[in-house]
Amino acid sequence: MHKIVIDSQTQSLNLLRDDELVFAAFISTSRFGLGFEIGSRKTPTGRFRIVEKIGGEAAIGTVFKGRRPIAGPVDRSAESDLITSRILWLDGLDENNANTKDRYIYIHGTNHEESIGQASSHGCIRMRDADIIELFDLVEVGALVEIVG
């Protein structure tokens, strides 16, 4: 079983299998900081598991709304905070992050790849499209995720 470790200080993600590093990438956590409150747009910390993988057959750059691919033209302007390519939906395992699934906190691709490496998301963990696709293909539903501050 794999484990993903996300470090909000270094804006990095490491995928481990039996304590061996198998994948690493830069990410973006929330520009609003870390926290658990509904509507706060903060990235939660603690222990999680991947509860669902969405978009496995989608083309790179596919935009999702409500966890479904959008057909037709999409506004990709700088103001848009799009969920692209793949979604790994997180479920909290600790008392303080138990609302994570209900907050729709994901690891997902973004149309703001230039901001990867900086805290700039709206609560989710953003990745470059190529990186989220690679990670998606390596992990399984049920894989553990730890987000540290």
Mean pLDDT across the chain: 94
Backbone angles phi, psi at 31, to 5 degrees: -75, -10
- Report the distance separating Cα 122 and Cα 33, nearest Å: 9
| pLDDT per residue as tens digits for the range 25-48 | 999 999 999 999 999 999 999 999
Classify 9 in phi/psi space as left (phi over 0), alpha (psi -120 to 50) or beta.
Answer: alpha
Residue 79: the pLDDT is 60
H-type helices in 13-142, by residue range? 129-138
pLDDT digits (tens, 9 = 90+) for 42-57: 999 999 999 999 999 9
Q: What CATH number does residue 136 fall under?
A: 2.40.440.10
Cα–Cα distance for residue pair 56/73, rounded to 1 Å: 21
Q: 123's torsion region: left (phi>0), alpha (psi -120 to 50) or beta?
A: left
Closest by CA position to 132, among listed 80, 61, 66, 75? 61
Tens digits of per-residue pLDDT, 57-98?
Answer: 999 999 999 999 987 777 766 667 899 999 999 999 999 999
SS3 107: strand
pLDDT at 77: 67
- Please state, as a whole number, how many other Cβ atoms lie within 10 Å of the Cβ of residue 51: 14
**């969920």: which residue's tokens?**
83
Number of domains within the chain: 1
pLDDT of residue 146: 98
The range of the structural domain enclosing residue 63 comes to 2-148
